[in-house]
Each structure stands twice: as structure tokens, then as C-alpha cells.
A and B are shown apart, each in its own frame.
Chain A
Amino acid sequence: MADQVTSIVQINQLCKVFRIGFWGRRVTAVDELSLDVRKGEVFGFLGPNGAGKTTTLKILMGLIYPSGGSAMLLGRPVGDQSAKARVGFLPESPYFYDYLTGREFLKFYGHLFGLWGVALEKRVDELLEAVGMVHARDLQLRKFSKGMLQRVGIAQALINDPELVVLDEPMSGLDPVGRKEVRDLILRLKESGKTVLFSSHILHDAELLCDRVAMILKGRLVASGHVAELIDPGTTHSVEMVIDHLSPEGLEHLHPLAEKIVAQGHRLLAVLRHPREVDAALDIIRTAKATLISLTPHRSSLEELFIRLVKEQQPAGEPKP
């Protein structure tokens, strides 16, 4: 029973079959998906475009009805209004009422949660501050850039101070600065004790942020667990070195150790075959009196795991999704 209490999102054998076209051809978007998101964690829901991430999140938000299985939010079946009152949601590439100003927009969503008056004004100001949009409070949304829309969209998802925040592709379409800001915001939410569930196809972000992740392909769960567990620490390490002013003899000695060497003027990039070659390489650099600029170990990443899983799922000859 203790597990029941800490499960914020519980999805059990969830299925969604869409009927498309004139003849009602059946397309399975979500296929017997089971997963749970626990209290206080950042959970990444990963998969390529069209894998069924958005469909699953829409089922959780009561936008579409499941064809089979069950899904619970905060211990209540999806669609329950009291559960919705404790959840915040940012849709994928959000479209908003563009005739509203930033303040009007947030106040409107506040009203939908039954917030009015001074308390709402205060909350709106706080949120505009938190997402760095105070300057655009009286600007109509039609004049917003994509990054600004995403920020005000996140503010909209937080208006009710939710326990669970669900973000659909919060980083897509943002520049590196914007992505960093969204990452920081997610971490701040986690610090304040909230549970965050977000979908993404950008695995690097997920790796930096998530406690646990689930990967889906064609509506099916293919991997889930802690990021550290999923990324096998024993495999495929390589080390990248950038070296300046290496003499030709030094280069000759370095060759057998390196997988790849690229020279650009007096600068050299060498990728070592194995981490244990680092000492030998450093010796060569010291003897040749060259300068080591950087040394970067490359861990295997979620991305590599993901590409492997996609390839395993793909029968030979079928185009990539």
C-alpha cells in the first residue's frame, strides 16, 4: 500500500487505438504501456517522434480516452476534476490565445482553478518573475517569440502551484540558452518538492535532469529505470584529447594509441582507443614538451542506448522512423 501513496502517476496496460481515414483503419499509438512516476522525482518519457509520448500524456490529461488499460493521477482515475486541480500541463509546441497579454493570459488560467482577486494578481506577478517575463506582461501573445511562448506556457502550467507538472517536449524549438533555462526551472521544481514528468526526444537533456526515464518505441515500453542503471558503465569509453604544438616524433608515438587523429594547424585532436592509454599519451606529450589543452572522457550515453534499441526493433530494410 505504501507504494500506492508514493505513486503520483500510475499507468497500467494502457492502450490507445486510433481509427483513421474513411475506412477507419486501426492504428495503435500506445500498446500495453505500464509505468509509474513516484513522488518528488523528475521522470523523463523518451522516444522518437511518433512513438506515442504525446498520446500517453494526452490520456493522462483527459484529452483523449484510452482504448484499454488504466491510468491514475495522484491516486485518482484520469479525467477526475479534483486530480486535475493539482496538476499543471504544458502541451507540445503550445498554441495560446494570442489576443491576450501575458498578464491576461495567466489570469484567465488562474480563474479556471478558481483563483481570483489579490491572491491571483500576486501569483501572476510571481510567475512572470520566475520565468523572466516581467517585461512582456502587457504585450499581446501574438508578438511573442517561440521561447517567450514556451516560458509563459510553463508559467501557465504552474499557476495552481501543482504537485505534478507534466511537460510535453518543453525543450523543443528552444535555443541553447532557452533549453538551459527550462532545465534550471525543472530542477527548481524538483527542489521545491514537486514531481515532474516530461517527454522529450532530446536525450541529452533527459540525461542531465532525470532521476528515472522510460523509453518507448511504437507505443511499447522498451526500457525504463534509473539513468545510471540504463547507461552501462562498463562499455565503450573513449577519451578525447586536444594537444598544441606536438612534435612530429611525438605524433609518431601517439599514432598507435589513438583511434583517430585530426590536425588543424598546430592543434591536434586525438581520440584514444581506451582510457588506460591516457597515462602513456600524457608521457608522450610531456617528453615532446607539447601542451595539453583538454582531456574529455566520453561516457556511453542514453543516446547510444536509444539508437541501439531502435536498431534492434527495426527489421532489416525498413526505413528509420
Chain B
Amino acid sequence: MKVFSIALNTFRENLRDKLLYNLLVFALLMIGSSALLMRLTLGEFHRLILDIGLGSINFFGILIAIFVGIGLVSKEIEKKTIYTIVSKPVPRYQFLLGKYAGLTLTLLVNTLVMVIGLLVVLSLQDVPIHLVLFKALAMIFLEFMIVTAVALLFSTFTSTTLSAIFTLAIFVIGHLTADLKAFGQKLDTLGRGALEAIYYLLPNLERFNLKGHVTHQIDVPAYDLFLIAAYGMAYTALLLMFASVIFQRRDFG
């Protein structure tokens, strides 16, 4: 119940933050603009709309996950609001889970608004909607959850600025890990070992990218989807556990 009320309070904080609305408006404009761009393109209209639409949802969701996520805990510490929470009978890990759940809820609502925007554009332009679109959207949301957990982890022990830099770095590298592994195959054992360590340690975010499947209308088997989802959940759980351990040991001086 305490996790729930902290989550609700975080959600309320996000709702009363203007940054979020700005991002949302931009996202909807981007999605809507794909309909205009279509008039400038020859052929492959459908691919273009789906590409821009999914790309916008992904990009703006990640922006929210990073820039709201890094402030989740560090802002509470900087503003000293955490003093009033930790002094109450609330275990620290519950506070962390509550903050995480709150932002996840915010992201869910935001994603839903953006998805509705996309669906409106798609139906106005008579683009056929396949099931794989929703599978891809679900995986995009899982990626948001991982990136939020990364941001939360960093914000438990560094400043807001450093958290932003680290989280962005992990996001970028997370999309390149497969390339890193391939590159490692061409190196000696030491270099290969180092790159493989990075490959296994950092989240492989490219696994959650099913945009190609959507634009080419290739379905994703349920088993593959299950594996990706299990990977995402397990990775998020590990990040949250790690964040809780660090947070438990911290002094709020």
C-alpha cells in the first residue's frame, strides 16, 4: 500500500510537470507530420508512416524515461523531500519501487496517448493495422522500463547531470552491443573478452526493436516474444535490486 501511495504521488508530480506536456505535444506533432511527409514521397507510404510513428513514440518515450527518471530520486535528495519519507515507517526499497512504479505509470499513459495518435493517423490514411504493430509497441514499452530502471539506478548514487550522461551512454551502447560483439570476433582474446563482457553486462536494447517487422509485416512468433519479454523483465528486476542495495546503504547528509 505504501508503494502504491508513493507511486500515485510520483504520478501526480509528473502530471503537474509542464515538461511532460511539451514532450507529448511534440510527439503528437511528429506522428501527425508523417501524414504530410507522405505527400512528398513516391510509393511506400505505409512504411513511412509506420516508421516515423513508431520512431517518434520510441524517441519521446525514451526522452521521458531518461529525463524524468534521473530526477526521480536525486531530486528528492537534492530538495530534501526524502527526509520526510525515510523518517516514516517506509522501508527504503519500497520508496524506490514506488518511485519506479509511478514513472512507469506515467510512461504508460503517455505511450497510450501517442499510440492513439498513431492509430488515428493510420486509419485516416487507410494503412492496414496488423497485430505485429501492437507486439512492437509492447516491446518499445519494455525498453522504456529498462531505461527508466537504468536512470533510477544512477540517480541513487550520482547527481542529476551525471545520471543523464550515464543513462544516455547506456542507451546508445545498448543499441550497439550486437555490433560490439561482432567487432570483438575480429580482435585478439583480450579485446574479444572485454567486448563480450560488455555485450553480456549491458542491456541489449536492439532486441526490443521490432520496427522492421512492422514495416515489412513480418509476424513475431509468440515464443520469441516471450523470450524478449522475459529478458526485459529479468534485467529490470536486477537493476531495481541493485539500486535498492545501493540506496539502503546511503546516508542522506
Binding site for B on A (CB under 8 A): 18, 55, 58, 61-65, 81-82, 84-85, 87, 89, 91, 94-97, 99-100, 104, 108-109, 111-114, 116, 156
How many chain-B residues does the 8 Å CB contact rule pick out?
Answer: 25
Q: Which 6 A-B pairs have the closest CB atoms?
A: A111-B5, A61-B87, A64-B251, A91-B83, A84-B89, A89-B87
Q: Is the CB of B253 within 8 A of A18?
A: yes
Told that A81-B89, A84-B88, A112-B5 touch, could you supply 17 new A-B pairs with CB distance under 8 A? A18-B251, A58-B83, A61-B86, A62-B86, A65-B249, A82-B89, A89-B83, A89-B84, A89-B87, A89-B88, A91-B83, A91-B84, A94-B84, A95-B80, A97-B13, A99-B17, A100-B12
Q: Is the CB of B252 within 8 A of A64?
A: yes
What are 16 A-B pairs at a CB distance below 8 A?
A62-B86, A63-B87, A63-B252, A64-B251, A65-B251, A84-B87, A87-B87, A91-B84, A94-B84, A95-B80, A97-B9, A109-B84, A109-B88, A111-B5, A112-B88, A112-B90
Query: Is B39 on the interface with A (CB-CB < 8 A)?
Result: no
**In angstroms, how far is the closest chain B Cβ from the Cβ of A167?**
12
**A51–B241 CA distance with the chains assembled, in angstroms:** 36
A-contact 0/1 string along B216-227, CB 8 Å cutoff: 000000000000
B249 cross-chain contacts in A, Cβ below 8 A: 65
Binding site for A on B (CB under 8 A): 1-2, 5-6, 9, 12-13, 16-17, 79-81, 83-91, 249, 251-253
Q: Taking each of A95, A108, A111, A112, which has the highest tally of chain B beta carbons within 10 Å of its own beta carbon?
A: A112
A87 cross-chain contacts in B, Cβ below 8 A: 87
**A63–B249 CA distance with the chains assembled, in angstroms:** 10
**A64–B83 CA distance with the chains assembled, in angstroms:** 10
A111 cross-chain contacts in B, Cβ below 8 A: 1-2, 5
**Do A64 and B253 form a contact, CB below 8 Å, given A96-B84, A99-B13, A109-B84?**
yes
> Smallest CB-CB separation from B5: which chain A residue?
A111
**In angstroms, how far is the closest chain A Cβ from the Cβ of B192?**
35
Q: Is the CB of B1 within 8 A of A91?
A: no
**In angstroms, how far is the closest chain A Cβ from the Cβ of B44?**
45
**A100–B253 CA distance with the chains assembled, in angstroms:** 25
The B contact surface, by secondary structure, is loop
**A95–B85 CA distance with the chains assembled, in angstroms:** 12
> Smallest CB-CB separation from B16: which chain A residue?
A99
**In angstroms, how far is the closest chain B Cβ from the Cβ of A34?**
21
**A156–B88 CA distance with the chains assembled, in angstroms:** 11
**In angstroms, how far is the closest chain B Cβ from the Cβ of A67?**
10
> Smallest CB-CB separation from A114: which chain B residue?
B1
B2 cross-chain contacts in A, Cβ below 8 A: 111-112, 114
> Smallest CB-CB separation from B79: which chain A residue?
A95
A94 cross-chain contacts in B, Cβ below 8 A: 80, 83-84
**In angstroms, how far is the closest chain B Cβ from the Cβ of A42?**
20
Partner of B84, one of A58, A81, A114, A156: A156
B88 cross-chain contacts in A, Cβ below 8 A: 84, 89, 109, 112-113
B1 cross-chain contacts in A, Cβ below 8 A: 111, 114, 116
B253 cross-chain contacts in A, Cβ below 8 A: 18, 55, 58, 64
**A65–B247 CA distance with the chains assembled, in angstroms:** 12
A84 cross-chain contacts in B, Cβ below 8 A: 87-89
Partner of A63, one of B6, B81, B83, B91: B83
**In angstroms, how far is the closest chain A Cβ from the Cβ of B105?**
16
Q: Is the CB of B83 within 8 A of A112?
A: no
**Do A95 and B86 form a contact, CB below 8 Å, given A64-B252, A111-B1, A111-B2?**
no
> Smallest CB-CB separation from B4: which chain A residue?
A111
> Smallest CB-CB separation from B91: which chain A residue?
A81
**In angstroms, how far is the closest chain A Cβ from the Cβ of B85?**
7
B90 cross-chain contacts in A, Cβ below 8 A: 81, 112
Q: Is the CB of A85 within 8 A of B251?
A: no
**A235–B62 CA distance with the chains assembled, in angstroms:** 71
> Smallest CB-CB separation from B82: which chain A residue?
A63
> Smallest CB-CB separation from A63: which chain B residue?
B252
**In angstroms, how far is the closest chain B Cβ from the Cβ of A174?**
18
Q: Is the CB of B251 within 8 A of A63?
A: yes
> Smallest CB-CB separation from A89: which chain B residue?
B87
Q: Is the CB of B252 within 8 A of A112?
A: no
> Smallest CB-CB separation from B95: which chain A residue?
A112
**A100–B6 CA distance with the chains assembled, in angstroms:** 13
Q: Is the CB of B9 within 8 A of A108?
A: yes
**Do A112 and B85 form a contact, CB below 8 Å, given A18-B253, A64-B252, A99-B13?**
yes
> Smallest CB-CB separation from A64: which chain B residue?
B251
Q: Is the CB of B83 within 8 A of A61?
A: yes
**A62–B83 CA distance with the chains assembled, in angstroms:** 9
B9 cross-chain contacts in A, Cβ below 8 A: 97, 100, 108
Q: Taking each of B2, B79, B251, which has the highest tally of chain A beta carbons within 10 Å of its own beta carbon?
A: B251
**A89–B249 CA distance with the chains assembled, in angstroms:** 21
**In angstroms, how far is the closest chain B Cβ from the Cβ of A170?**
14
**A18–B253 CA distance with the chains assembled, in angstroms:** 9
A89 cross-chain contacts in B, Cβ below 8 A: 83-84, 87-88
A97 cross-chain contacts in B, Cβ below 8 A: 9, 13, 81
Partner of B81, one of A61, A64, A82, A95: A95
**A100–B12 CA distance with the chains assembled, in angstroms:** 9
